Amino acid sequence: MRDKLPPEPPGSEVTPEKLYLRRREFIKNAGLFAGTAAVVGGGLYLLGMKRTRPMDGFVPDAGTVAQPVAPAQGVFVTDEPRTPYEDITTYNNFYEFGLDKNDPARRAHTLKTRPWTVVIDGEVHKPWTVDVDQLISAFPLEERVYRMRCVEAWSMVIPWLGLPLGKLLDRVQPTSFAKYVAFTTLEDPEQMPGQKSPVLDWPYVEGLRLDEAQHPLTLLATGLYGKQLPPQNGAPLRLVVPWKYGFKGIKSIVRITLTREQPPTTWNLANKREYGFYANVNPAVDHPRWSQASERRIGEGARRPTLPFNGYADAVAGLYRGMDLKRDF
């Protein structure tokens, strides 16, 4: 018979039963350990996901626009280091696309910025309903490098392209009754999914006093870094008022109305105590929940002191002569 069992393994190679059982238990415990650790870590990770997270390198490729006319100098162009394009276009407050800073960059592609009509009406002699490209081509574009200070105490330096709002107002000829300028954003929850949530009163509205609107620093921006404005930054047309907190810079404007009365403004409606109509950058007037005395420039570690009127005091302080900016904040 060739029916032979394989040779017995030598005793030295046999794992004692006790050890063998412990080994199984060890493997089982190791598995349970790894599984539980993964569940706990993964659970925390998921909880934290919704919070502002870095973008995965998403940078929209907006076409380069024609070079602006002779770049402005002096107060219109700060020589401070510019904030990188990627940070400007991925760290945004634009609640129409979500509450987290990275939501607009992820979601604003649903905004159809062409064709786009802007209505300019109210207390003007020549109301104008105009296609945005026609509006933009009616004025020479200028590059302005402005500091931008958010009410949340961070700041950027942004090279905008745009046209001074004053030039547009000259064209529509304000009547002698015009005292304020009211701005309105698009209202369309299909294009702006954040408007499906009642977190703010939609559409977003903002306003300026007429003399603020006519100030040469006040810009209607159409681009940044020499490119067309990406939707998350308020394409096709947004307001930039560099001496005021960022929330005054209403995005994706569809209507500009000159009025006799001070218009309502969105954050003031949402919380009168925390967000005033003027919203001038003022290190001496704190936000009720945090200090405004200092700010963090995006890309820098240490905070820097905040300047009155965001460093534009020489140019704009005269607009507020005789006013108590602690009361009219």
Partner 1 sequence: MASSKLPWLNPAIAVGGLAPLLQLAVLGAQGELGANGIEFALNQTGLFALAVLIASLACTPVRLVTGWTWPARIRRTLGLLAFTYAAAHFLTYSVLDQGLDVRAMAEDVFTRPFITVGFTALMLLVPLAVTSTNKWVRRLGFPRWQRLHRLAYVAAVLGVVHFVWRVKKDVTEPVLYGAVLAVLLAVRVGEAVRKRRALATQRPA
Residues that bind partner 1 (CB under 8 A): 25, 28-30, 32-42, 44-45, 47-48, 50-55, 86-87, 90-91, 95, 99, 101-102, 152, 154, 197, 199-200, 270, 288-291, 293-294, 296, 298-299, 301-303
Helix, strand, coil shares of the chain as percentages rounded to 5?
30, 20, 45
Smallest gap from Cβ 256 to partner 1, in A, equals: 26
| Nearest residue to 311 (alpha-carbon basis) of 217, 210, 247 | 217
Smallest gap from Cβ 56 to partner 1, in A, equals: 10
Q: What's at 157, amino acid-wise?
A: V
Smallest gap from Cβ 16 to partner 1, in A, equals: 17
User: Toward partner 1, which CB reaches closer, 31 or 140?
Assistant: 31
User: Toward partner 1, which CB reaches closer, 155 or 257?
Assistant: 155
Distance CA 108, CA 233 (A): 9
The token pair that represents 202 in the structure block: 């939609």
For 143-163, the DSSP string reads: EEEEEEE-TTSEEEEEEEEEE
Distance CA 198, CA 217 (A): 33
User: Toward partner 1, which CB reaches closer, 30 or 284?
Assistant: 30
Nearby residues of 12 by Cβ (< 8 Å), 6 or more positions away: none
Distance CA 254, CA 274 (A): 27
Smallest gap from Cβ 241 to partner 1, in A, equals: 20
Smallest gap from Cβ 293 to partner 1, in A, equals: 7
Q: What's at 16, amino acid-wise?
A: P
User: Toward partner 1, which CB reaches closer, 160 or 312?
Assistant: 160
User: Toward partner 1, which CB reaches closer, 35 or 318?
Assistant: 35
